[in-house]
Structure 1
């Protein structure tokens, strides 16, 4: 298996299970950046901030999980792409009292590598759709 694919998979699992930056850090450059064209993530600029955001969202959507559909490397571009569906129900305190509503929201991560570690990640996600499903928007 391609080394970058193994690194990306370990990062993906740690991030998507809410383990935060401490667990994700070994797979990333220290200054790894983050981007998303998403209102919910408009202020998030680093991968450290994003992994901590994921930790926080899983404290609100306490049954949060994911269904991984696609995972592949593009060695020519030093990138790995993951496509999944996040599933979670608002069961704990958060931006509003628990709604008991569930989202099933698709997203894609494009992870770009430098020297064998993730240097940048772009998340492609329709946050507005997910927030509406949760009763937040």
Structure 2
């Protein structure tokens, strides 16, 4: 397994299990950026913000977990892509609306761009609108 693949895997697990920036920063450049064409993440521009957003999300969706479908490394372009399905139920307080008790299974992809052995940028590809509807938020 390539070095960037191992680093991406460790970052992915830390991020997806709600470790926040404290649990993720060792795998990233200090100024790592983030982008997504998804309404809930429109104002999230740094990877630090995103990692902390995921930590918060798991606070009101405590059963949240992921299922990895594919994990691929492109050495030439220095990136790693992770395709997964996020499963969760909105049961906790603190979300955008009171708990709905509804479940979601939503596909997403992370494309983690590397500078040396650190993630410098991550793009999330996700259809947030369908996830929001499934949870009763839209």
Would the TM-score normalized by the shorter structure come out above 0.5? yes
Aligned to 2:63: 63
Once the two structures are superposed, residues 70-97 of structure 1 have per-residue CA deviations (whole angstroms, 9 ceiling, x without a partner) of 0010000000000000000000112111
Q: How high is the TM-score relative to the length of structure 2?
A: 0.98
Unaligned runs of at least 5 residues, structure 2: none
Residues in 1 aligned to 2:96 and 2:110: alpha-carbon distance in whole angstroms:
25
Cα deviations across residues 81-128 of structure 1 (Å, max 9, x unaligned)? 000000000001121111000010000000000021000000000011
Tell me what 1:127 maps to.
128
Work out the number of aligned pairs and report it: 137
TM-score by length of 1: 0.99
* Aligned residue number for residue 110 of structure 1: 111
How big is the shift at 1:44?
0.2
Aligned-CA RMSD value:
0.5
The ranges of structure 1 where at least 4 consecutive aligned residues each deviate by more than 2 angstroms after the TM superposition are none
* Within-5 A mapping of 1:32-47: 32-47=32-47
